[in-house]
Amino acid sequence: MDKAIAVSIVEDQEDIRRGMQHIFNSTPGFSCLSVYEHAEDALQYLPNVNPDIVIMDINLPGMSGIECIAKIKKQCPHIQFMMFTIYESSEYVLEALAAGASGYLLKNTTPGKMVEAVRELYAGGSPMNSHIARKLVAAYQLSTALPAKNHFNISEREQEVLNLLSKGLLYKEIGQQLGISTGTVKQHIHNIYDKLHVQNRTEALNKIFGVQQRS
């Protein structure tokens, strides 16, 4: 008989935590070894529990799930991590992957697909929702479209905004694409204009892409 895939769960919402625990304990081929409400508890106990897969929320009380992964990976590089969160921003995805996560699922994922994704992760894959995968591809394309190094201190999120500005999107449409409010988009654009010392969209795009063409 094949070894059961050992799973641990780090999730602060009790109904979600207990629901996932039930799913994996009742699915043949899986065993839920432990559940934690706080990242601090996971950091303390997971190295001894030694699961195959940890399903990790991002927004936890105290230490974030991403920070917890980075710390545990240093002690236990063999443990694999699946993010399970409401956050679909490419910024969160990239941070999670950089910390050591190998999969990224949204909390609207069905139980069946979640089990399938954990099985895929255990087999060496990197499962994620198709929507998240598209965002990751877009973030990669952006990183190659804009100068890797710029002299304006433009952040990753501001680069995302610039890329969408270059496509002619309205502030509201940019907000919908990035999952942020129109007010936040305006603030990012204000910061971009300040950093570039420009007054409008055309001047900003000419300046940033002009630097790219000359570099």
Per-residue pLDDT tens digits for 180-212: 888 899 999 999 888 888 888 777 877 776 544
Instruction: Give the model confidence (pLDDT) of 3-58 as tens digits.
Output: 899 999 999 999 999 999 999 999 999 999 999 999 999 999 999 999 999 999 99
pLDDT-based confidence at 115, cuts 50/70/90? very high
Distances (CA, A) of 146 to 66, 88, 161: 26, 22, 12
Q: Is 90 helix (H, G, I), strand (E, B) or coil?
A: helix
Cα separation, 99 vs 80, whole angstroms:
11
- In this predicted model, what pLDDT tens digit does every residue of 126-156 receive, in sequence order? 888 777 777 666 665 555 555 544 567 888 8
Distance from C-alpha of 161 to C-alpha of 94, rounded to nearest angstrom: 16
β partners of residue 84: 105
Give 125's Cβ-side CA count (13 Å radius).
11
- On whether the CB atoms of residues 90 and 96 are closer than 8 A, the answer is no
The CA distance from 193 to 202, in Å, is 11
Q: How far is CA 83 from CA 6, 50, 148, in A?
A: 16, 18, 27
Write out the E strands in the chain.
5-10, 30-36, 53-56, 80-85, 103-106
Q: Which long-range contacts (CB under 8 A, 24 or more apart) does 127-131 make?
A: 127/82, 127/103, 128/93, 128/103, 128/104, 129/88, 129/104, 129/105, 131/88, 131/106
pTM beyond 0.85, yes or no: no
Q: What domains appear along the chain, each with residue ranges and CATH number? A: 5-133 (3.40.50.2300), 146-214 (1.10.10.10)
pLDDT at site 140: 59
* 72 neighbors 46 (Cβ within 8 angstroms): yes
Q: pLDDT (tens digit, 9 = 90+) per residue, 45-68?
A: 999 999 999 999 999 999 999 999
Sequence letter at residue 105: L
